[in-house]
A and B are shown apart, each in its own frame.
Chain A
Amino acid sequence: MHSLKEMRREFQRAFNISANRVKVAIGLGTCGIAAGGEKVWSAVNEYVENECLDVDIMSTGCLGMCYAEPIMEVHVPGEPRFVYGNVKPDTAVEILERHLKYGRPSPEHIVGQDPRGFKPAPNIVELKDTGFFKSQVKTVLGRCGIIDPEQIVHYIAFGGYEALEKVLSEMSQTEVIEEIKRSGLRGRGGGGFPTGRKWEAAYNSPGPKKYVVCNADEGDPGAFMDRSILEGDPHSLLEGMAICGYAIGADEGYIYVRAEYPLAIKRLRKAIHDAEAMGILGDNILDSGFSFRIRIAAGAGAFVCGEETALMHSIEGKRGMPRVRPPYPAASGLWGKPTNINNVETYANISGIIRRGAGWFSGMGTDNSKGSKVFALTGNIRRTGLAEVPIGISLREVVFEIGGGIQNDRQFKAVQIGGPSGGCIPASHLETPIDYDSLIRLGAMMGSGGLVVMDEDTCMVDVARYFLKFTQEESCGKCTPCREGTMRMLQILERICQGQGRPEDIDTLESLGRVIKSTSLCGLGQSAPNPVLATLRYFRSEYEEHIFNKKCPAGICVELLDIIIDPEKCRGCTLCKNVCPADAIGGERKQPHSIDPEKCIKCQACIMKCPFDAITKG
């Protein structure tokens, strides 16, 4: 079998040679670009050309530190790697000027340094000691931000396709499956089904033609882990799928990527093309006799296609509507053939398990949830971004150590975990370890890993309404409880938020939620009521406030607010009077003004206009 060993050594040498060249890497994932990364890229290129410096400029995937985007790294041979954050086009030139010309890093922009064995620069925190990275363990995201995702040589240099080589040369199909079963890897898409057993089921179904499918639909709002893997390290997914193909006896794979990730699709296409050019994918991989071809199927905007049978229907060119199970996909999936479906992150773990052994993987995590999980920290948190943590870490550690606590020192209220199919967890349960089973006990679920932190200014009824509006719009419409029930729950919640809540609404919400959860055909319907049921369980008082006192404690539900002018603070400058669209404000110049609650449409324009912030909403 043609081996990659020499090729790998050669690429490592090339990578190291390039290591002793000065390199500037700029994060150009979708989030990097959204933060203005491209302007930094052109400014740096322009600067390097004018100064005709011998510097390689490279684009990388994201390191996960969205709060610091755009990110620029400076690699000077013999020195630690310096990571600069919140870089503007002009500050980037300044930093390079000072760093490259005079060898002095500019601490005010630095996020951290990575010594890489060299003498760390004085009084600059090391990356691995920063709060954000300290308790992280980067296995799946290991190469993201380090290698150039469009260069297969980088991937191979960092141990890429070694696992595939090992599988094809030394291991039988059952050995591979046993290894995955021993590692205790469970599905990262949200369900948490043991991956080894899933592969075994597909392996055991007869049939010459089988498929390997990767679910990269990632429809959860607030979740972008898969995107950063697809954009930052696409080959890790390809390798994982190839190994799965070998293990279950499939020769064709599909990656179902959502239409809203054009950059991910572009990078995946390039990665597949490069891998096929090097004989690592396609026919007779590395002369091993095993062939495996991967195609990309672009989604077209339907969250329900994250459900496996809906996803398969979408690939087949049909409406993405789930079907009855059994038969499970392992027995009859894509075009009726046995199919194995896993999430991007699940496949990305495979090469690590094969290379470092099941023991290494099962060493991380708790007894029934093994390995690491990538979470997308968003919401009112100081450090938003991607964090890969060992399973079992407590919520407090994730929110306060990694996330750096709540923005502008507001009070922590709850965290929504598992996206619109998950539930919210209040402050009282912050100590809960994050693993599959304890989250389900709290009425939430691991889900794909979206973790939205909410501070005291969030109204839980409004959050429940927001999530239900999402699942209601994304329901496929096949089964009655989900098609009709989610809309009826949403109508009740909207009534409550507009101040027309009725006492029996809570019972109706709970009864409807119970029926939808227990009778819907697929995961979407079965989990759609979770946000409402969870907020009802932990924040029932807020619902009662909205319904009985027609008040919104967090001041979010506009119709329930009373906007009042504080007579002491009001100087009578009439600014608010002119801006008020409903002319609900009365009072003479220099006299304290007042708002007529009947006319006031609660647009809060006066609050923004008042220079003495004499107007409050309560």
Chain B
Amino acid sequence: MTAITVNINGIKTTVPGGTSILQAAAEAGVQIPTLCFHPDQEVKANCRICVVEVEGQKNLVPACATAVSEGMVIKTATRRVLEARRTILELILSRHPQDCLHCARSGSCELQKLAAEYDVRHNRFPRDEWQLPLDYSTPGIVRDPNKCVLCHRCIEVCTAVQTVNALGLANRGYDTQVVPSIDHGLFESPCVMCGQCIHACPVGAITERDQIDELMEAISDPEKVVVTQIAPAVRLALAEEFGDEPGGLRMEQLVDGLQKIGFDYVLHTNFAADLTIWEEGNELLERLQEGKNLPMFTSCCPGWVRFAEVYYPGSLNHLSTCKSPQQMFGALVKTYWAERMGIDPEKIVSVSIMPCTAKKYEAVRPEMIDSRYADVDLVLTTREIARLFRMTGINPLKLAGAPFAPWMGEYTGAAVLFGASGGVMEAALRTVCELEGGTLEKLDFHDVRGMKGVKEATVYLNGKAVRVAVAHSLSNARALMEQVAAGESPYQFIEVMACPGGCIGGGGQPLTPTDQDRARRMKAVYDEDRSRRHRKAHENQEVKALYEDYLGSVMSHKAHELLHTRYTLKRKNT
């Protein structure tokens, strides 16, 4: 495109044609406020906060949606522009609840930042808040419709990026509202609780279901033994909550911090991730030999599992019957681990710290009780743990560090990969290729890495070509699933993660990550993998011990009973 020079507040800037005024201004170092704009979404231009004055145009134009043209003279801070911005903010605030101090987004709320920046001090309009009940219907997410500023960012991510279509608009004009599908609560809609709408929301209208109280009750009860597992993506992102780069917090420091909060034993989900590779790797080989139920989909992402149950009930046989690492861990902690540690399983409170809100739903699925108790009692997100650290006055970055509890703390580089999209695939390929004998020199499978929507690769297993695919964001998963439902899928093994970038971009992670933030967190995952001594799941000694002393063999009857599950159709109004 031809280069175009424009004059922004007197500064001459040259930008390629088609750039919006917003981007051109940013390059010229001029800051224009936005609310409904999101770098990874289509321009909607409905909040009108980013209006600027362009010479020769009668009306003010939205900077996000107006492309620059040659010789355009733009003024971003005239009296008329400021009057417009402050009036629009005043209009929004006159209907917005004034409980900033109670709100989960206090300090990270875009509306709060704008109101302070633009000195909106007086309000000429009578308060007129919505007074609607909060929506607690789903185990993972809580919606507070009174705080919605109608920027449509949540609808955009749920419809375009995730194609779940759980959220939509209702009514018209002053009564317009964002509602779950037919306004009977989120649980009645096809919502899979992936939590991407939480990241999209600029204010506190959607948050994760807070379970800190339940945790503190368990910790304070002397009878109870509180055991927790931590997902790989949690450690990576937690550093961001305390002002450091992703991966800045060492695992030992996190373990130390959690023990200081009051957890009796701290273990690692990655142990179960390596275990999943053992089970799922073998299941894949079995399916390849029998040539049945192919392509096989991974089943470690509960958001993806529910998406398949709601939208593709006819193709559930393609999902691997393996449980996710969280649920495998849960099943083992109240059986194998309880036995090894000599603790009465009834006293154990199995906690799981995850980067994900859908895990809160997975834990309450009725079939997740194979340990004769609830496999996982409580699931907390990265954000909740960060809040807990702040509440208890602990800054994990300053701690010395502590080791994991025995039996289920060891993990390999392969397990760490589970946090990034393409990670489960790479971990599985490293093991599956070696199960056939011979060792793999090149451990890195670059084709399955990165932020590309659907990634492909071809691998040779005992001479036969196996085509694999990796999809992140449910819109890409839907594309692959359509091929499978039509019987035209060229792949044998497909990894799906519901969230863009994989679990490092999960619904429970530090707020509003852009695609760049997700890419940065991904890099930290691969850095940690390279730093570990063992980088193949089948080199995990504790997993070997589990099989020898307890499960008998891979895919044994006991393994099947504890580590595998089933899926059923969810009749939702899609």
Contacts and interface: CB of A to CB of B under 8 A. Distances in A.
Direct contact of A and B (CB under 8 A): yes
Given A319-B169, A515-B84, A519-B84, A481 B174 contact: no
Contacts of B75: none
B87 A477 contact: no
Contacts of B173: 472-477, 483, 486-487
Contacts of B67: 326
Majority DSSP secondary structure for residues of B touching A? loop
A132 B475 CA distance: 63
B46 A479 contact: yes
A302 B49 CA distance: 26
Given A476-B173, A508-B124, A511-B83, A481 B150 contact: no
Given A324-B45, A475-B172, A518-B84, A480 B59 contact: no
A31 to B, nearest CB: 29
B171 interface: yes
Interface in A473-507: 473-481, 483-488, 491, 504
B88 interface: yes
B94 interface: yes
Contact of B59 (A302, A488, A526): A526
B560 to A, nearest CB: 48
A508 B175 CA distance: 23
B310 interface: no
A476 B175 CA distance: 10
A512 interface: yes
A319 B46 CA distance: 15
B176 A483 contact: yes
Q: How large is the interface on A (under 10, 10 to 19, 20 to 34, 35 or more residues)?
A: 20 to 34
A302 B172 contact: yes
B51 interface: yes
B84 A477 contact: no
A518 B88 CA distance: 12
A427 B83 CA distance: 34
Given A519-B48, A519-B59, A520-B48, A480 B92 contact: yes
A302 B173 CA distance: 11
A473 B176 CA distance: 11
B33 to A, nearest CB: 13
A491 B174 CA distance: 12
A345 to B, nearest CB: 25
B48 A479 contact: yes
A488 B175 CA distance: 13
B13 to A, nearest CB: 21
Interface in A146-184: none
Contact of B174 (A484, A512, A514): A484
Contacts of B43: 324
Contacts of B80: 514, 518
A521 interface: yes
A517 interface: yes
A102 B171 CA distance: 63
B534 to A, nearest CB: 53
A426 B126 CA distance: 33
A480 B88 contact: yes
Contact of B87 (A473, A511, A526): A511
A426 to B, nearest CB: 24
B60 interface: yes
B125 interface: yes
Contacts of A475: 172-174
B250 interface: no
B47 interface: yes
Given A487-B174, A517-B59, 11 more contacts: A472-B174, A476-B172, A480-B88, A480-B150, A485-B87, A488-B94, A515-B84, A515-B88, A519-B60, A519-B84, A521-B45
15 contacts: A477-B171, A477-B176, A478-B176, A479-B46, A479-B47, A480-B92, A484-B95, A484-B174, A508-B124, A511-B87, A515-B84, A518-B84, A519-B60, A519-B84, A521-B46
